[in-house]
Structure 1
Amino acid sequence: MYRAEKRGGINGLVVSHSAVDMFSMTIIENSRHRDGSIYRNKAFEGHFCITNRDETRLEPMMFSEPTDCRPSWETCSMHSACAMMQIFSLKLAKIPIDNDCIQLYGYIAVRDDLDKLLNYVVNYSRDNPIIMQQGDLIEMTGPKRGISMCCSVLLEFDMRIKKGEQERDDLQLIDGAIDYIGLITATFPFTKRINGDCGAVDITLARVYWAVEATIQVIISDVQSGFNLYLSSLCFVSDVWKEIQLFNGPIGESCGLRRYVVAVSLDTWMHLKLKVGQKGSNHYVERYCSFKAINHGCSSQQILGELASISMKVTWSTLLD
């Protein structure tokens, strides 16, 4: 691992590689969704209600600006940071050998102690699968809010490879559930493999100690011509910088990107990394914007470029509000 100063600037910053341990994660016995065994498994009774398939209703706690009669949330001492899970990446590690590209769909979600409902990290329908090759990162569509790790976190997954007109012809990539126990989940980023019937997914995550939610909102305006945009978040976790890919794709007109929620250790810096390049060109302009993690509050920064104007707003909140 490469180390960097906790409060250091961007110059010379080197992002660490995760500790890689390719031993497979232990999938809970009788936790498959497709054969219904997970719904009959009594091991889940009393803690997680697996039969409840509702999505979490909780949102990040995004407060309005302070007024004369209400103190600034930035000085709030009532609400504190807590342990949170951060999933840094999901990689399509293995697919059937006779496939160069696949159509992937399904979901990966977590349940925590806040409401025990599904908080989707990945969610793609069969009608709108993603085209992928072995080794590609699976673009995350969530989480909707931060993931509490004060107690156990259940990771549920059911992902399939679309093969034909009928769902019965599809291949099962991974299916099941894994339990992460809060106190024994590593606080440094680590990678494990989830093996399935027709492939495998590598998941990189960590338990972030004393963390707050960073809700990232990006608005792109004044687009002069189409361009490619790469957006990621760099967070300081257990003395290393770790990168989370948020967006990687073309921009053709003024728009707002989806909202991103990232766990960041209190009083550390989060850097947003942007790479902008014209379509058809291998040349990218790279820029960074830095935000310090606090209990509550928000801050904004704007990048004015030749191709577009990019506005970034980060709102800070705690899970225990």
Structure 2
Amino acid sequence: MASTEEQVFLGSRNLPYPGANHPDACADWDYPEDPGDGRKAVEAAELHDQPARMSTSDSDPCEIARRALDLMFPREEDSDDGWSTWSAREEGSDDDDDEVDDGQGGKGVDDCSAHEGGDYEEYDGNIQVVPAKTNCPGELYPKSEVEAIDRKWADRFFKQIVEHAKLCDEIMALGDDDDTPFPPSPMKVFPEATGLCILGLRTCHHRVYRTHDTSTTPSTLGYREPSHMLQIFSMRLSSFEPTYPISVYGIFAIRDYLDRRRNYVFNRPRDDAVTIEKQDSFVVPLCSPCRGMYVSDKALVEVDLWVKKEGDESDDKQLFSAYAEIDVRAEANVMFYTRISGDNCNLDLKFKVLSESVEAVIQVYAKVDHPHHVRFTAFSTGYDDYPHRGVVLFDDKLFGDKKMFQHIVAVKANEELHVYLEVNGSVFQWTFQDEHVGAVTSPDDSIFEYGQFFVRVIFAPKDCQ
């Protein structure tokens, strides 16, 4: 069993806990609605009465918290409060780490210098890049509130980490024969303004990710050479709405290091809101990103979701409006189960950062004479342990002379990509591999019973280097 210290440390980095014999926590999205619900589920089992053992005297929960906060909330060396880390803040000593995290895993790097739209100002002969625009609300807060705001933010996040660690510890104590899934770990959700925002530093997330720019990233960007790529598998909404179904609209976008503009994986206007049924486990249907998502160690999640009500837009209810950071550091090829907690609901994500991967553009053409409900799914090495838990490409009724859709996924270099079609209880498979022309394997003629289907995959078609 992982110690409490290990769990808090892993939880602070959004890592799943080492429990190979436990089921896939996202397989059927059988998550508790919140940690309290999960606790009720395990209270019926016989648990240890004693608290979790601490391995050393250094495993004090407060010390663990400070270490986690140092990882998740690095402090600026020249901050007004005189401390550069949370450990130093508690102990009253200065930290000797004089590097500044640029929000992208680098140290002391000015993000804006690599993008258009920056204004250049000269100070004492040195060129400093200052973003031309920003929607950062930091200037609306007095600098005297920096300490209190960051402390409140850190305390809230730490409580989520500890609650998650305790629940995981209880689940692990049930033994290998128990099939209770682990809950999603908390994501690093930014408050409206952080201390970095209030101090006007260029390392605040608004400036690093240029959140004032709400345009869409160009679809022409991408790399031919294998890179670390983000693949989002599922997004689940656990709403506290009293009645169902509910209609949801809004955006969910990723801003990565290749280009800070929005790359949508969910984008529904109000007149095209998606209806989520309770029996569907609140899984939100995702759209294809317009290009692959490249992540060295961090990326920004931007979410703004609404519930459509009867009447006009003024009656609608906002579920989420937040920025959260995906922080995987060097942990590639690990499945992440994370949660963005809100006042009215939770948003649970399943994603993975695949090392040495390329874009794969999947194009599907169909001619169907009779209506059928079809489901297209993509699966490749590193996705999951079961093919039909891969990336859902299309899940709807299909009918007509033509139906063409395109979906972009990340695939590890030189690995096979399988595309599955499920229709009327039958499953058909195409297999593709980079540097092979056409499909390596295709369905037999029995597929013509349902229609004509043509699937094509293009690997790494772009190169912006």
TM-score where L is the length of structure 2: 0.54
What percent of counterpart residues are identical?
23
* Equivalent in 197, 216, 220 of residue 59 of structure 1: 220
Task: State the distance in 1 between where 2:332 and 2:297 align.
Answer: 14
Look up the match of 1:99: 243
Tell me: CA distance 1:256–1:185, structure 2 relative to 1, closer, same or farther (3 Å). farther
Task: State the distance in 2 between where 1:144 and 1:238 align.
Answer: 20
Tell me: CA distance 1:250–1:60, structure 2 relative to 1, closer, same or farther (3 Å). farther
Task: State the distance in 2 between where 1:230 and 1:180 align.
Answer: 29
The one-letter code of the counterpart of 2:405 is R
The one-letter code of the counterpart of 1:115 is D
CA contact (8 A) 1:232 1:247 kept: yes
Shift of 1:182: 4.6
Look up the match of 2:186: 24
Shift of 1:210: 0.5
Task: State the distance in 2 between where 1:41 and 1:256 align.
Answer: 49
Q: Find out whether 1:289 has 2:296 as its counterpart.
A: no
Look up the match of 1:193: 339
CA contact (8 A) 1:120 1:144 kept: yes
Tell me: CA distance 1:245–1:171, structure 2 relative to 1, closer, same or farther (3 Å). same
Task: State the distance in 2 between where 1:110 and 1:146 align.
Answer: 10
Task: State the distance in 1 between where 2:426 and 2:299 align.
Answer: 39
* Equivalent in 204, 220, 233 of residue 350 of structure 2: 204
Look up the match of 2:209: 48
* Equivalent in 213, 235, 247 of residue 394 of structure 2: 247
* Equivalent in 125, 129, 144 of residue 269 of structure 2: 125
Look up the SS of the partner of 2:300 in the other structure: strand
Tell me: CA distance 1:289–1:60, structure 2 relative to 1, closer, same or farther (3 Å). farther
CA contact (8 A) 1:229 1:249 kept: yes
Q: Find out whether 1:86 has 2:231 as its counterpart.
A: yes
Look up the match of 2:458: 315
Shift of 1:18: 4.9
* Equivalent in 148, 151, 157 of residue 294 of structure 2: 148
Task: State the distance in 2 between where 1:81 and 1:138 align.
Answer: 29
Runs of 4+ residues deviating >6 angstroms? none
CA contact (8 A) 1:215 1:260 kept: yes
The one-letter code of the counterpart of 1:212 is V
Tell me: CA distance 1:290–1:17, structure 2 relative to 1, closer, same or farther (3 Å). farther
Shift of 1:83: 0.2
More strand, by proportion: 1
Look up the SS of the partner of 1:98 in the other structure: coil
More helix, by proportion: 2
Task: State the distance in 2 between where 1:41 and 1:248 align.
Answer: 45
Look up the match of 1:109: 253
Q: Which runs of 5+ in 1 are unaligned?
A: 1-15, 62-77, 278-283
CA offsets 1:260-305 (integer angstroms, 9 cap, x no match): 000011122211111112xxxxxx111111112x3x6752476542
Tell me: CA distance 1:238–1:102, structure 2 relative to 1, closer, same or farther (3 Å). closer
* Equivalent in 375, 386, 391 of residue 230 of structure 1: 375
CA contact (8 A) 1:186 1:206 kept: yes
Tell me: CA distance 1:238–1:289, structure 2 relative to 1, closer, same or farther (3 Å). closer
Shift of 1:312: 0.1
Shift of 1:185: 4.7
Shift of 1:49: 1.0
Higher relative contact order (CA 8 A, sep 6+): 1
Tell me: CA distance 1:174–1:182, structure 2 relative to 1, closer, same or farther (3 Å). same
Tell me: CA distance 1:184–1:30, structure 2 relative to 1, closer, same or farther (3 Å). farther
Task: State the distance in 1 between where 2:352 and 2:306 align.
Answer: 26
Look up the SS of the partner of 2:363 in the other structure: strand
Task: State the distance in 2 between where 1:108 and 1:25 align.
Answer: 15
Look up the match of 1:66: none
Look up the match of 1:12: none
CA contact (8 A) 1:18 1:189 kept: no
Task: State the distance in 2 between where 1:178 and 1:257 align.
Answer: 33
Look up the SS of the partner of 1:127 in the other structure: helix
Shift of 1:31: 6.4
Q: Which runs of 5+ in 2 are unaligned?
A: 1-22, 27-181
The one-letter code of the counterpart of 1:159 is L
Look up the SS of the partner of 2:438 in the other structure: strand
Max Rg structure: 2
TM-score where L is the length of structure 1: 0.77
CA offsets 1:188-225 (integer angstroms, 9 cap, x no match): 2221122223212211001101101110000002x231
Look up the match of 1:299: 438
